[in-house]
Amino acid sequence: MKTKQLYLSDSYLKQADAKVAEIEQNEKITVVYLDQTIFYAQGGGQPADIGIIAGKNGTLTVSHVSYNNGKIQHKGMLSGTLEENDVVTLTIDWKKRYENMQLHTAGHVLDQAVKNIIPNVYGVDGTHGIQGKNYIEFNEEIKPDQLPQIQKEIENICAAGEDITTQMVTHAEIKAMGIHLPFDLPKNKDLRIMSIGSYPAMPDGGTQLKNTGECWPISVDSVQEKKNLWRVQYSVKHPQHKKSPESIKKKKEEHLPLVSLEELKVHATRLEQEVKADVDEGSPDLHTKYLGKNGLFNQLAKTIKDIGPAERKQAGMLLNQVKAKITAALKQTTTKQQHSAIDLTMPGTAPHVGHLHPVTQAMREITDIFEQIGFTRVRYPEVDWDWYVFESLNMPPHHPARDEWETFFVDVPDTTKDVAYDSNNPRKRHPSLVGGKVVLTTHTSNGQVREMERMDSTPPIRFINIARCYRRQQDATHTQMFHQFEGLVIDKHITIQHLKGTLDHFAQHFYGPTVKSRIRPFHFQFTEPSFEVDFSCHICDGTGVVNGEKCKFCKSGWHEVGGAGMVHPNVLKAGGIDPDIYTGFAFGWGVERTYTLKPGLNIDDIRLLYSSNIQFLEQF
């Protein structure tokens, strides 16, 4: 059953009821599916909503929402219990939603302003708040000296108070309307178009303001060229006054409070949960923390002045109820303390502590698994010579194999001398002799030849190298900085069987005893033969089918995790090792990619791992 997306027809819904259709729960995270939702699922450049899903016996604090083949996943920490067919109340964090609406609408206003000034230009991609980034990428050149004109046009569109309208449509209707499509439309989602005033409509699935007069001040910040696309960065500024500036014509009835009753309910629920957790732990001095002059309750109560007059009475009643609950909870704790015997020999209450970041947890688990079979953990530079990152790995200057790595170069003088490359003696271009370019490492493979040198070119070698890597990629499955772990084994008589056995060992210990690996032919310049590595799905045991239906997690029975292969003879030569005597294998995978495939995590966007969303990170 698909989830009905109520926000497509009304972006201003802050609260609604729904029925629980399905629940997936494990020790780390709970996923709830509903028959309908007001929570926006991350996509189209707009971040997901957060908030609460409250039932009669439990509450889910939603930290992320994602779209999965028609069904929307509400992920977070569950307090109490929720069951299928429960009727629940959904409340979004309105302040966060309204900020996201401002950013998304601002992106469309920017897009239209550019179209008004530069003929035949169109936006091909955009981000509106994910990881704090706001930009639209255009297909034609945008010059820096055009930005003031674009800024003026944005202000004109906002000042005109243009109505923003939306309409649900089909693929056929979009085609019949002659709407320009700079990208392919999804086949598995409901389609909607949005229009600013009388300007041409365009596809959009996000949440939008009702009128451009409602826009906060929009600033065009910069323009950059990226892969023959021109990225225009923008920002919006939260107005410091309650009324809109005179330059923006906005009807009085359209003014929305920046703090609403629904948002107050979200914060109140979180505060009650925090009190309960502190009481259960027996934390000291709770009265000062919650009911003191600068306590958390008084901080929450101060927000009532920003709530509209029509809702202020209900807000006051809600705050009185919250205070009564907090007082009762603290009184109960005090009573217990007064009537309980005190044993002065008992240790004090341990302070609340955090935990390691999930990426760090993954690194430690990976290290432990490989140390069990004799691997040694090493680490090599993240800023390194071009020689170690490319040339020593059988990629001489200008070789086409370098193109796929999307490399960041460090702006320092290139001291490379004009020395011919000799595949039989690649160390002739060694940077310690002739210098070279400096790069941010695109992979941990730069440690291969460095380890051979450290071992005086004398195998056996068996290492696991974990470090940060950098590539010019940024989307739901890639980040410009990521972590990778690299395995290297060199000795006499090493074969593909040793590689396959190592892969199976890792798969079974990291994902589960029934998980297997498989290798598929591929090409990497520094291994021969080379392979892509897949692990069987732990949900469907590699069959691709669960209860007669296609597995929702893997779709095919297997997950691609990374590359591997037998070390190329030229790489061994670069490390001073004779390839006629020694052979070896290597593999390298992203830590984040490998971790997100673990059972029960349901992480569909690795950028979440680097967010500052404490609610999300506390689940691991």
Does a structural domain hold residue 170?
A: yes
Statement to judge: residues 598 and 534 lie in one domain: yes
| Angstrom distance (rounded) from CA 620 to CA 603 | 12
Write b or e for each residue in 5-27: b if 16 or more Cβ atoms lie within 10 A of its Cβ, otherwise e.
bbbbeebebbbbebebbebeeee
Look at residue 50 in the predicted model and tell me its pLDDT.
Answer: 92
Statement to judge: residues 610 and 481 lie in one domain: yes
Does a structural domain hold residue 201?
A: yes
Q: How many domains does the chain have?
A: 4
Statement to judge: residues 321 and 207 lie in one domain: no
Statement to judge: residues 463 and 605 lie in one domain: yes
Statement to judge: residues 26 and 114 lie in one domain: no
CA distances 487 to 237, 445, 529, Å, are 48, 9, 16
Q: Of 195, 223, 254, which residue sits at a domain end?
A: 254
Q: Are 8 and 189 in contact (CB under 8 A)?
A: no
Statement to judge: residues 446 and 510 lie in one domain: yes
Statement to judge: residues 239 and 276 lie in one domain: no
Q: Is the peptide bond before 460 cis (omega within 30 degrees of 0)?
A: yes
Statement to judge: residues 249 and 265 lie in one domain: no
Strands of the sheet containing 438-440, edge to edge, are 383-385, 438-440, 408-409
pTM of the model as a whole:
0.56
Q: Which domain holds residue 593?
A: 358-617
Does a structural domain hold residue 345?
A: no
> By CB neighbour count within 10 A (0-12 exposed, 13-18 middle, 19+ buried), where does 432 fall?
exposed
Ranges of the chain with pLDDT below 70? 27, 180-190, 240-259, 281-284, 333-343, 404-405, 414-435, 473-478, 552-553, 600-606, 615
Look at residue 284 in the predicted model and tell me its pLDDT.
Answer: 67
Look at residue 475 in the predicted model and tell me its pLDDT.
Answer: 61
Look at residue 223 in the predicted model and tell me its pLDDT.
Answer: 92
Does a structural domain hold residue 348?
A: no
Q: Are 533 and 545 in contact (CB under 8 A)?
A: no
Report which of 167, 190, 162, 163 is spatially closest to residue 9, judged by C-alpha positions.
167
Statement to judge: residues 415 and 518 lie in one domain: yes
Statement to judge: residues 54 and 71 lie in one domain: yes
Q: What is the pLDDT of residues 415-434, one digit of tens each?
A: 655 455 455 554 444 544 44
Q: Is the peptide bond before 144 cis (omega within 30 degrees of 0)?
A: no
Percent of the chain with pLDDT over 90: 37
> By CB neighbour count within 10 A (0-12 exposed, 13-18 middle, 19+ buried), where does 325 fall?
middle
Statement to judge: residues 453 and 593 lie in one domain: yes
Look at residue 492 in the predicted model and tell me its pLDDT.
Answer: 95
Q: What is the pLDDT of residues 470-488, one digit of tens each?
A: 887 666 556 788 889 999 9
